[in-house]
Structure formats: C-alpha cells, structure tokens
Structure 1
Amino acid sequence: MTRMAVAVVNLNTREHLRVCLRTALAAAAREIVVADNGSSDGSLEMVRAEYPGVRLQVHSENPGYGAASNRAIAACTSPYVLLLNSDTEIRPGALEALTAYLDEQPESGIAGPRLLNPDGTLQPSCYPFPGSLAWLLDNNTLSRSVGVVPGLRDLCYRTSPHDRARPVPFVKGAALAIRRTAFDEVRGFDESFFMYAEEVDLCYRLGAAGWEIHFAPVTDVTHVGGASTRQVRTAMAIEHYRADLRFYRRHYAPARVASLVALHKLNLVARLVRDSVSLRSARADRPNVAEDLAAWKRLLLEG
C-alpha cells in the first residue's frame, strides 16, 4: 500500500475533477481528500455519487487555495501527500515513484513531478524566485506579447532543464509531492496568499528552514491549467500581481522591494499601451480588453 495520500482543491471544475479522481484511483491511491471551495457546478454531487470513498471537505465560502490545501493536507494520515490541482491527471505508478523519490532524498521537503500540457508537450514547472533576472525576463509584457527578448526567454528555459532530477528554487504548484514533517515544520501554506505565489512562498520558507525543493521527473502529470481561474480571468490577473508584491514584501529587503515594485509598474504601463492599441482594433474582444484596461489602471494607483 502506498504511503502517499492525494489531496485536491476544487472550484467549479466538475469534469476535470472527475478525470483527476479517476486517474488517482487508477494510480492506487488509498487516501484521497477533496477540498471544495464553494462549487455550484455539481462537483459535490458528482464526488458523492461516483467516488464515495473520497473524503470531501465542503467550504461554503472560498477560503483561498492555500487555506483549503492546509485543511486537506491536515486531514491526511499518510507521511507524504500529493497535492494536485483539479485539472491534473496522474499516471499509474506515480504515487509509488514519488514516494520512492522522497524516501531516497530525505533532504527534499517537496518534489515536483514533470508537468505536461494536454498535447503532450512540456509545461515548464521549475523556476527561479520572483524578482530574479530570469523571472523578470519571462514575466513582462514586452517579452510575452511583443517578443522583444525571445532569445533571453529561451535562455531562461535552457538554464532550468526539465530532463533530470535536481534541487531548484521552487516548483509549480499544480502537483506537489509533500513531506508532511517538512510541511508541518513551516506550518504549511501562508493563508494570506489567497491565490497565486502560495507555493513560491512555501518553497522559500522551506528552503530557509533547511529543506530542499526538488524537480523530480520520475513521473509525468498532465496539467490543463487555469480551469478555475479562467472563469474570472481579470480578477485573477489582479490577484497574481498583488501576490507577487506580497511575496517581495514578505521576504526581500526594502530597497529591492522598491525597485521590483517600480518594474512592475512599468510593466503595467506597457500593458496599458498594448491594450489601448488593441481596443482600437476591429478584431478586439472589446469587453474583455476594456475590463483589463480598468484593472491595470487600478493597480497602477495602488501602493
């Protein structure tokens, strides 16, 4: 019997959750906890009818991803927990492979498997911390939308290889194999991060406590991405921006925070220019672009 439980946080992703749970059972999961953050799409009814052995935690109001994860992990009795987004699919043997990896790497507090897109292509999942040069090159409007520095973005990916196991600053939170002793030592996710950067903050604190974060391509996990957040796209973009700034202020020196906030403001200006031009296009999705413009203006006025 595997010593790794599965915990899943869900919000209105019934069909993805159905597949996620099916693959978890096919991978011989013996302990599965689903934390539901207030779904209204029939997710609860589906789990109760089709997966009666799954332990269901029902939150009438959305406490945030980190808070829901903390509660789901606390309910698990296994020494290891694979925390999954609801839009993921794991492979047979995944739990055994990740359990063996954590057994063999006692210094690893978290191991992140390799993530794949639905078409089978690689989904990058190990990164430098926010605020580093590589992070800034990969997370700005000029790089992503205009393509001014595509060569530099490629360099960032080449310096973060996804073909071998190794310690990394942090791994993407879509699939995290967690050692409970390490997780409990740092008191889990910081629940002030409602959505985004909660795994970055967790990995940072684990590293500060002496644990390592490992990229562990001993199994692959398919990740659709954005199944919950695309339902409220602009609101989540705002939350992503705020989460990055919260991370900076929590962990970096004031002078570095000030410079990073200034760079983020410049990026917002670039988004304003881009979307203002886009709004004048006959092919523009005018309601969405207008909503984005209002969001960027609001964020520029924030501290």
Structure 2
Amino acid sequence: MVILNWNGQKFLQQFLPVVIAHSPGCQVVVADNASSDNSILFLQKEFPEVRLILNSENLGFCEGYNRAMRQVKAQYYVLLNSDVEVTPNWLQPIITLMDADTNIAACQPKIKSYAKRQYFEYAGAAGGLIDYLGYPFCRGRIFESIEEDHGQYNDTRPIFWATGACLFIRAEAYWQAQGLEPAFFAHMEEIDLCWRLQLMGYKIMYCGHSEIFHVGGGTLPKNSPRKTYLNFRNGLALLYKNIGPDNLYKILLTRIVLDWVAAIKFFLTGYRQDAAAVFRAHWHLWQNRKYWQKRRAQTSHEHKICPELIYPRSLVGEYFINNRRVYPQLNIPNRAALPA
C-alpha cells in the first residue's frame, strides 16, 4: 500500500493510525513529494514501522506514484490518498475478488464522503463510467449531483474506471500498461490508466462490499484555474491517446467545440482565469502534439471495451437539457453486475 504525501501531515496524523490498524499483514509505504511541512519528522517519530520513500521534488500524482512503485515489490498495489479513512475488513473483499480472476487488473471500493457520511464522494463514488465524448461520471455522482447511499450500489460489477483515491491494481498489469501517464501530473490519470488496461484485455471492477470515506479536494481547490487547466488538458489528451482511429477526429472536434462553450460560460460568469485555462490547455496539446502522437502509438487497440461501460449519449445533454441528474435516470443496463 502506497500513500503519496505532499504537505499532508494533518491527514497523516488523522488517518494513518486507522489505515495501519485495519490493514493487518499489509506493508504501508508513504512516498513523499518533497513536503515542506513536518510530515517526514512526524512519520519518523510516530510511525517508524512505515517505510518512507523520499522524492527530491514535487513530481505530482502520476510520476510520484510511478517512482515509488518501482521500489515496491508486491502482487497488488493499493494507491491510497492520505485523506482517506478506511474501515474494518476493507481489504479482504477486493483481494478475494482479484485473486479469483487474474483478468481483473484494478478495483475500487465504495467511496463515501467523510463530511456527509451518508452520501457518496465525488471522486469515485460507486465506480466510474464515461460517455462517448469522454466525460467521466460515476454511479452515485453525475457532475455535481451526488446521491445518498441507500445500498443501491452494494453490488460487484465491471466499471470503466476506478478512482485513484483508493485504487487496487495488479502490479504486473500496472507495469504492462507503463504505469500512470507522467505528463498528466494530476487529474484523470486513473481514467487513462484504466482505459489502457481495458484495451489490453483486462477488466476494471467495483466492489461494494468494501467501503472507505474520503475527504476530497486535497490536491487543488475546487475553484482553481490550475485545476481547470489540468482537467481540460488531460481530458483531451485522454481521448487522443485512447480512442480508436475510426471515430477519433469526429469525437475530438465535438469535444473541442464543447470545451469552447465551457470557456465562454466561464468568461461570461466572471471566471476569466478559468476561461483562459481552457484555451491554454488546448494550446499545450497542439504545442506538444509530437509527444502525444508518440504516446498514442504506444497504446494497444487490440481489444474492444464492453459497450455497456461507455454511455452512448452526451452526458452534457442528458444532464443540462434532459435534467437527468442521477445514475438510474440514464437507464444503463446492469447485465454485467455480479450477485451482491
């Protein structure tokens, strides 16, 4: 288990004791991205049993994990955010599931809000899906609409992507896919990784019998132009890297137009830095097109992804025009689910 830390001493103080208590037999590693707080001194004094991996600079989420994973030998990795509260027996249901099927590359538990404990949490909820234009959503969360947990997602089923807040992943598959995309830095990196794994023939799963609570929003504040930039840049790069050749340019063009609409909305509502961030994101992709062309060429398109994991309509249209705000209203077939 690897926890990536950057100036997160307050979260380590609060949540690391619970992680250790509820993870018997599991090696706990903290990879530190050159924190400037007292995280390292705190860990050395209070948790000498925790292995420390020290990065010399803030490498971001992606490369920070990649470098740490190269130093960890295990059958499974668990990428765990520092702001996560785990629960008793959170590990075993997922390990049992993955042990039973070597074709499962990655899995996530049920992710609920630490602050509003009856509700799902934005980053992952009950498993991630995506629409055909690359807009991600979750069972339990569409855009800003978050469902209360009534046990409606206590199942085990394939999903399109598993959250990076708590990602169980087979080590062999992680390196077959070349790990997290380092150029992403942060945001949407887990979607890219899960997409590549599926194109290699692996499955991504959700296990509703394991549950954690996530604070969320620890990397960048919600209303941050930097976060806007990363989301729009990585969203387009995600599509360019992974969509098959038949529909690539049609989908990219549609997505670019929708991004411009979003930029205009930002501008008209007073978020001018966010509007500029959208155009900077597009300019970055054009400037670095040779890099992204190379990364696309390295993506396997040998296997097709289960069509039930990609919503065939525009999520933007369904949400904002047809007022479909919760997952059941999308009428997505659930034939792939396993018995609860």
| TM-score, length basis structure 1 | 0.80
Alignment map for 1:141-160 (pairs within 5 Å): none
1:39 partnered with 2:35: yes
Q: Which residue of 1 aligns with 2:130?
A: 129
Q: Which residue of 1 aligns with 2:227?
A: 236
Name the CA shift for 1:105/1:186 in 2 (closer, same or farther; >3 Å).
Answer: same
Tell me by how many angstroms 1:162 deviates: 2.7
1:8 partnered with 2:3: yes
Decide which of 48, 52, 62 is 1:52's aligned counterpart. Answer: 48
1:116 partnered with 2:116: no
Decide which of 77, 85, 88 is 2:81's aligned counterpart. Answer: 85
Q: Which residue of 2 aligns with 1:97?
A: 93
Q: How many residues align?
A: 267
What amino acid is the match of 1:128?
Answer: L
Name the CA shift for 1:59/1:215 in 2 (closer, same or farther; >3 Å).
Answer: same
State how far apart, in whole Å, the 1-side matches of 2:254 and 2:38 are: 46
What amino acid is the match of 1:201?
Answer: D
Q: Which residue of 1 aligns with 2:273?
A: 294
Decide which of 250, 262, 266 is 1:267's aligned counterpart. Answer: 262
State how far apart, in whole Å, the 1-side matches of 2:90 and 2:234 are: 31
Secondary structure in 2 matching 1:192 = helix
Q: What does the per-residue CA deviation read over 1:26-72, in whole Å, with 9 as the maximum and x for residues that have no partner?
A: 11253111111121121111111111111111222111211111222
State how far apart, in whole Å, the 2-side matches of 1:176 and 1:137 are: 15
Tell me by how many angstroms 1:231 deviates: 9.2
Q: Which residue of 1 aligns with 2:202?
A: 211
Q: What does the per-residue CA deviation read over 1:99-157, in whole Å, with 9 as the maximum and x for residues that have no partner?
A: 1121123221001000010121222242223654874899xxxx75xxxxx7xx98xx9
What amino acid is the match of 1:209?
Answer: M
State how far apart, in whole Å, the 1-side matches of 2:208 and 2:137 are: 26
Q: Which residue of 2 aligns with 1:255?
A: 250
Tell me by how many angstroms 1:166 deviates: 0.3
Q: Which residue of 2 aligns with 1:282?
A: none
Could you tell me which runs of 5 or more consecutive residues in structure 2 were left unpaired when the two chains were aligned. Answer: 284-340
State how far apart, in whole Å, the 2-side matches of 1:88 and 1:136 are: 20
Secondary structure in 2 matching 1:171 = coil
Q: What does the per-residue CA deviation read over 1:158-207, in whole Å, with 9 as the maximum and x for residues that have no partner?
A: 9xx63211001112211011111211211211211111111001000000
1:172 partnered with 2:163: yes
Q: Which residue of 1 aligns with 2:102?
A: 106
CA contact (8 A) 1:117 1:222 kept: yes
Name the CA shift for 1:245/1:190 in 2 (closer, same or farther; >3 Å).
Answer: same
CA contact (8 A) 2:78 2:168 kept: yes
State how far apart, in whole Å, the 2-side matches of 1:299 and 1:179 are: 35
Could you tell me which runs of 5 or more consecutive residues in structure 1 were left unpaired when the two chains were aligned. Answer: 1-5, 145-149, 277-291
Secondary structure in 2 matching 1:128 = strand
What amino acid is the match of 1:108?
Answer: I
CA contact (8 A) 1:108 1:213 kept: yes
What amino acid is the match of 1:170?
Answer: W
| TM-score, length basis structure 2 | 0.72
What amino acid is the match of 1:51?
Answer: F
Percent identity, aligned pairs only, is 24
Decide which of 161, 175, 184 is 1:184's aligned counterpart. Answer: 175
State how far apart, in whole Å, the 2-side matches of 1:75 and 1:240 are: 29
Q: Which residue of 2 aligns with 1:18?
A: 13
What amino acid is the match of 1:183?
Answer: Y
State how far apart, in whole Å, the 1-side matches of 2:53 and 2:138 are: 39
CA contact (8 A) 1:167 1:213 kept: yes
State how far apart, in whole Å, the 2-side matches of 1:133 and 1:205 are: 14
Q: What does the per-residue CA deviation read over 1:207-259, in whole Å, with 9 as the maximum and x for residues that have no partner?
A: 00000000111211111001232299332222122111211221231221111
Tell me by how many angstroms 1:295 deviates: 3.2
